[in-house]
Amino acid sequence: MELRGVCCVLLTCLFYTSSADKDFFTSIGQMTDLLYTEKDLVTSLKDYIRAEEDKLEQVKKWAEKLDVLSATATQDPEGFLGHPVNAFKLMKRLNTEWGELELLVLKDMSDGFISNLTIQRQYFPNDDDQTGAAKALMRLQDTYRLDTHTISSGELPGTNKDVAMSPMTVEDCFELGKIAYSDADYYHTELWMEQALKQLDGGEESSVDMVTILDYLSYSIYQQGELERALDYTKRLLKLDSAHQRANGNLKYFEYQLAKQNKVEAEEGQKEKEKREREKRERRKYEQLCRGEGIKMTPRRQSLMFCRYSDNNHHPLYVLGPVKQEDEWDRPRIIRYHDILSNSEIEKVKELAKPRLRRATISNPITGVLETAHYRISKSAWLTAYEDPVVDKINQRIEDITGLNVKTAEELQVANYGVGGQYEPHFDFGRKDEPDAFKELGTGNRIATWLIYMSDVPSGGATVFTDVGAAVWPKKGSAVFWYNLFASGEGDYSTRHAACPVLVGNKWVSNKWMHERGQEFRRRCTLNESE
């Protein structure tokens, strides 16, 4: 009993640390704690099994399966969770399957283990986490044009073969389909219900019956206007269960609609159509850039791109040890600086940021209430110069290299992306229709962006500039820099950019936004709006 009490206290501490802020799926860095948590839960479960092994054979098998998975995962937690399927299955296990296990154990009067598990479940991922992880898989599926079999088998591009990964089960695929269905996303409902059906047809055992899958499948296909296919699946369902009330009703309705063939399309206003088309074009371009299908520079433009050693106009610190500078793009000018942060500096920044990582929020323009920023699947923290010498040193380094005053800049922001983590297309500067964007800071608009990559990303995670077709890929320790404003103070709309979904890996970045105030003699103004 004493050992169990110590274990309970330890688990409580671990859960308290990892649950300071929910939305686990938005930060791989914070999700690593859940692996250790699950591993400790398995250990606790095995202690109970040893006490009543003769009565709990089913529970023992469950524990042994999870014990092997947890032991392997905790050898390389970030690598393991860098695989989005592993991350989704972790959410699903902790949110759903452990609850099912709870009911099984309760039958055997297992008070000790159940009380421990019940206490800790309040710190588990919730339905929102499981849904978020599922939607992340579907987002990756669309952006990188992955078929359901590739995701289900776990054979993703860039996957480390040494990272353990168990394929998705029929239940996993069915769960993805249900989540899509609840969102009226019938396209993905169809894809994942079909994958569940394929795996059932292939002989995989499952607690999900084929009738239920066919019911979801036929309706989702009907909702997409494919009456003939919907009818075929409904007939297949009725062969398995001829008394299925809803299927019998659907059969008559589908046959009637098919005979009638009277499809009426709702008309949209011209302006709304144009807006939707613009959004679709940008989305297509964004996804193409994320897949590496960006615009290729002409040989003439490419010939003007160079790598060089830079001392920033004979800066004393860089005369003998200049920084490596590489041109990534010409218009807008995007420069990469190599070897900006050392591994020890990166680890220190992550150590400082990790306990404070939170989802980004925005103010609702109508209610004024802070809401989750769903366009950004990540968590971030802000580090001030005075809290650690490393942060102060990084800020000074940015000033020395760029020549811009960082005293009026925003604090160093550190971000860790989650499962399928992304940041949709946006501008860093305030536009003319946002005159009060940075009014409270009193430092003017964001003149420039400095973005540091603090991890390599095996697949995905590029920073793409959707208007010009540029793609910049993460390289650990390097930083990219660009001006958001012309020297005239006008915004450079070609800097619209986005962070692509992380397909495989764990993406950490930090960024510094420099503002106009304090740059008067460092970057002089011009009257030309495009200079």
User: Which residues have a Cβ under 8 Å from the Cβ of 394 and sit 6 or more positions away?
Assistant: 341, 345, 349, 412, 452, 510
User: How far apart are alpha carbons 50 and 55 in whole angstroms?
Assistant: 10
pLDDT reported for residue 110: 73
Q: In terms of C-beta density within 10 A (0-12 exposed, 13-18 middle, 19 or more buried), how is residue 48 classed?
A: buried
What is the architecture, at CATH level 2, of domain 297-515?
Answer: Sandwich (2.60)
What's the rounded Cα separation, in Å, for the pair 177 and 189?
4
| Distance in angstroms between the alpha carbons of the first and the last residue of the chain | 73
pLDDT score at 60: 80
- Each residue of 421-441: pLDDT tens digit? 889 899 999 998 887 888 889
For residues 225 and 263, is the Cβ–Cβ distance under 8 A?
yes
What pLDDT was estimated at residue 331? 92
Query: What kind and span of H or E run contains 348?
Result: helix 343-353
The structure's pTM equals 0.78
Burial profile 200-224: b = 16 or more Cβ within 10 angstroms, e = fewer: beeeeebebebeebbbbbbbbbbbe
Alpha-carbon gap, residue 312 to 399, rounded angstroms: 10
Q: What pLDDT does residue 11 have?
A: 41
Separation CA 27–CA 359 (nearest Å) = 9
CA-based angle 27:32:35, to the nearest 5?
135
In b/e form, how buried is each residue of 28-44, taking b as 16+ CB within 10 angstroms?
A: bbbbbbbbbbbbbbbeb
Tokens coding 77 = 């937690």
H or E, element range at 343: helix 343-353
Strand ranges (DSSP E) for 243-365? 307-310, 323-329, 334-338, 358-359, 361-363
Which class does domain 127-256 fall in? mainly alpha
Tokens of 123: 């710190």
Q: Which of 499, 405, 425 is nearest to 460 (CA)?
A: 499
Q: Do 122 and 94 touch, CB atoms closer than 8 A?
A: no
Helix (H) or strand (E) holding 196: helix 186-201
Name the residue among 95, 85, 3 with its Cα closest to residue 40. Answer: 3
Q: How far apart, in whole angstroms, are the C-alpha atoms of residue 417 and residue 504?
A: 11
Please compute, for residue 410, the number of CA atoms within 13 A of its CA located in the half-sphere on the CB side: 22
DSSP single-letter state for residue 518? T
Give the whole-angstrom CA distance, residue 356 versus residue 29. 11
pLDDT given for residue 394 in this prediction:
98
CA 65, chain centre distance (Å): 27
What Å distances lie between residue 213 and 88, 209, 236, 254, CA to CA?
Answer: 21, 7, 11, 18
Q: Are 448 and 429 in contact (CB under 8 A)?
A: no
Contact 502, 156 (CB under 8 A): no
pLDDT at residue 53, rounded to an integer: 72
The DSSP code for 494 is G
Q: What is the DSSP string of 220-272?
A: HHHHTT-HHHHHHHHHHHHHH-TT-HHHHHHHHHHHHHHHH----PPPPPHHH
Structure tokens at 459: 């697949």
Q: Cα separations (Å) of 127 from 78, 150, 391?
A: 23, 25, 36
The CA-atom distances, in angstroms, between 462 and each of 182, 218, 502 are: 31, 38, 8
Q: Report the candidate in 127, 113, 140 with the shortest Cα–Cα distance to residue 59.
A: 113
Query: Average pLDDT per run of 10 along the chain, which is 531 residues long?
Result: 39 41 74 83 80 72 86 90 90 88 73 77 86 92 93 88 85 96 93 95 93 94 87 93 91 82 49 72 90 87 93 89 95 97 97 90 48 70 96 97 96 92 92 86 95 96 95 97 95 96 94 95 78 58
Measured between alpha carbons, how far is 380 from 416 in angstroms, rounded to an integer? 6
- Written as one string, the DSSP assignment of 96-136 is IIHHHHHHHHHTTT-HHHHHHHHHHHTTS--HHHHHHHHHH
144 backbone dihedrals φ, ψ, rounded to 5°: -105, 10
* Residue length of the chain: 531
